[in-house]
C-alpha cells in the first residue's frame, strides 16, 4: 500500500498479516467463487476466527476493537483478491453489524452482533425498494403495531446477502401520518420467521459470489424488542453509518484498482511487440503512471476519512470525496489495465475483465456518483458559510 508512511508500525504489521492471510486462504479460491463452484461464506467464516470481520467492535461482541482504519486495511486486501467476497462480508459485518452495535441494546448485541462478527451468522441491510433508491425517505414498507410487537409488509430489492442472510436490518414506516424521516423505524428480522420470502436472486454483471436478492415481507411478525434504536427514529439509524460505509467502499475500490494495476505492470513487462517490451512504449507506461498516481491519492483520501471517523470528527465530505474518487479511479484503472493487456485482457483467462465488471457497481451502490457530488458541494458551501 502506497500510504505506508501514513501508517503506524502496528497498522503496517496488521496490513502485512492481513495480506498474507488473504493470499493464503482467499486468493487460491477466488476463481472458484467467481464461477459459483464455491460459496464466499465458506471462506469468510474462517476470516471471523482470524479476526478480520469485526475490527470495529469490542472483543466481548466477537470483534477486535481496532477501529475503522484497520477495517479499511483489511477491506483493501480482501477486495484485491476477490471483490464479490468482500461485498458479502461488508454487507454482513458493517451494514448490518455496525448499526446493531451503535443502536442495539445489550441483548440485541449479544444475540445478533456477536455471531455476525464471528462469522457464525450472516447479516444483511434492507433499505432499497422497487420504487425507492437514493430517496430513503420515500420508504414504502410498513410496520403496524400488533399487541406487543409489529407486523411488517413490503418489499426490498438489491439486498446483498438477502437470499442467504440469517438476520436482516429492515427499515420501515411506522407512522405514515408524518414525513418518513420522522416516522421510520429499524427492525432486526430473522429470515426464518414466517412471511419472509426471497422473490428473486439477481444475476449480476460483476461481484460474483455475493448473493443479491429481491425480498418480500408478508405479514412478518416481529417482537417489540427487535426495534433497533427508538420507535420512529430509524432515519437517524440510517444516516449514522453512511460515512463509514462510504469509506469502506472506497477501500474496496482501492483493492480492485491495485489488483488491476499490478496485473498491467506485470503483463507489460512480460509482453513484447516490435522487439521491445510493451512497457517501453509511452502509450503503455504513461497509463501505468496514471494508475499509480490515482491509487496513491485514493488510498490517502480513504485513510483520511477513516482517521476522522475513528477520532469522532465530522467526515461526511471526506467520506464522499474518498468514495467518489476511489470508485471513478478504479473504473478508469481497470479500463486502462484491460487496454494494456489487449485481447487477452478481454478473456476470462486473466482477472482484469473481472476487475472492470466489479468496479462498475460502486458508482451506483452505497451512494451514487451524482448523490456524492451533491453532498460534496453542499459541504463546501457550508464550510464557507453560504
- List active site positions: 245
Three-class DSSP labels, the chain: CCCHHHCCHHHHHHHHHHHHHHHHHCHHHHHHHHCCCCCHHHHHHHHHHHCCCCCCCCHHHCCCCCCHHHHHHHHHHHHHHCHHHHHHHHHHHHHHHHHHHHHCCHHHHHHHHHHHHCCCCCEEEECCECCECCCHHHCCCEEEEECCEEEEEEEEEEEECCCCCCEEEEEEECCCCCCHHHCEEEEEEECCCCCEEEEEECCCCCCCCCCEEEEEEEEEEEEHHHEECCCCEHHHHHHHCHHHHHHHHHHHHHHHHHHHHHHHHHHHHHCEECCEEHHHCHHHHHHHHHHHHHHHHHHHHHHHHHHHHHCCCCCHHHHHHHHHHHHHHHHHHHHHHHHHHHHHHHCCCCCHHHHHHHHHHHHCCCCCHHHHHHHHHHHHHHHCCC
User: 313 CB contacts (<8 Å, ≥6 apart)?
Assistant: none
What cell was used for 161?
Answer: 446477502
What cell was used for 224?
Answer: 417489540
How buried is 2 (Cβ within 10 angstroms: 0-12 exposed, 13-18 middle, 19+ buried)? middle
- Using CA atoms, how far apart are residues 224 and 233, in angstroms rounded to an integer? 15
> Where do we find the cell 430473522?
190
Rounded CA Rg of the chain? 21
Amino acid at each position: 500500500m502506497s500510504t505506508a508512511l501514513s501508517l503506524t508500525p502496528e497498522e503496517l504489521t496488521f496490513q502485512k498479516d492481513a495480506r498474507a492471510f488473504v493470499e493464503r486462504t482467499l486468493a487460491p479460491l477466488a476463481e472458484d467463487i467467481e464461477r459459483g463452484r464455491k460459496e464466499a461464506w465458506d471462506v469468510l467464516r474462517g476470516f471471523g476466527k482470524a479476526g478480520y470481520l469485526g475490527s470495529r467492535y469490542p472483543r466481548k461482541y466477537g470483534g477486535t476493537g481496532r477501529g475503522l482504519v484497520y477495517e479499511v486495511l483489511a477491506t483493501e486486501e480482501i477486495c484485491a483478491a476477490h471483490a464479490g467476497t468482500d461485498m458479502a462480508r461488508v454487507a454482513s459485518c458493517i451494514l448490518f453489524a455496525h448499526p446493531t452495535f451503535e443502536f442495539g441494546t445489550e441483548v440485541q448485541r449479544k444475540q445478533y452482533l456477536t455471531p455476525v462478527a464471528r462469522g457464525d451468522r450472516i447479516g444483511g441491510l434492507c433499505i432499497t425498494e422497487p420504487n425507492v433508491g437514493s430517496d430513503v425517505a420515500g420508504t414504502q414498507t410498513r410496520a403496524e403495531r400488533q399487541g406487543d410487537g409489529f407486523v411488517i409488509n413490503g418489499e426490498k430489492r438489491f439486498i446483498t446477502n438477502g437470499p442467504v442472510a440469517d438476520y436482516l436490518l429492515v427499515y420501515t414506516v411506522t407512522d405514515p401520518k408524518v414525513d418518513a424521516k420522522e416516522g421510520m423505524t429499524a427492525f432486526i428480522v430473522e429470515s426464518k420467521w414466517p412471511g419472509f420470502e426471497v422473490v428473486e436472486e439477481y444475476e449480476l454483471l460483476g461481484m460474483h459470489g455475493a448473493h443479491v436478492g429481491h425480498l418480500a415481507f408478508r405479514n412478518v411478525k416481529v417482537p417489540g424488542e427487535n426495534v433497533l434504536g427508538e420507535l420512529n427514529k430509524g432515519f437517524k439509524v440510517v444516516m449514522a453509518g453512511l460515512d463509514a460505509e462510504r469509506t469502506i467502499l472506497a477501500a474496496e475500490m482501492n483493492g480492485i484498482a491495485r489488483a488491476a494495476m499490478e496485473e498491467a505492470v506485470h503483463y507489460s513487462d512480460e509482453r513484447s511487440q516490435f522487439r521491445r517490451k510493451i512497457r517501453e512504449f509511452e502509450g503503455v507506461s504513461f497509463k501505468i503512471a496514471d494508475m499509480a498516481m490515482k491509487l496513491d491519492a485514493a488510498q490517502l483520501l480513504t485513510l483520511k476519512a477513516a482517521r476522522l471517523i475513528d477520532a469522532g470528527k465530522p467526515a461526511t465530505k471526506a467520506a464522499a470525496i474518498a468514495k467518489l474518487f476511489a470508485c471513478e479511479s478504479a473504473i478508469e484503472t481497470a479500463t486502462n489495465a484491460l487496454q494494456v493487456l489487449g485481447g487477452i485482457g478481454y478473456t476470462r483467462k486473466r482477472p482484469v475483465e473481472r476487475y472492470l465488471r466489479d468496479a462498475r457497481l460502486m458508482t451506483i451502490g452505497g451512494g451514487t456518483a451524482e448523490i456524492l457530488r451533491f453532498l460534496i458541494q453542499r459541504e463546501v458551501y457550508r464550510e464557507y458559510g453560504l
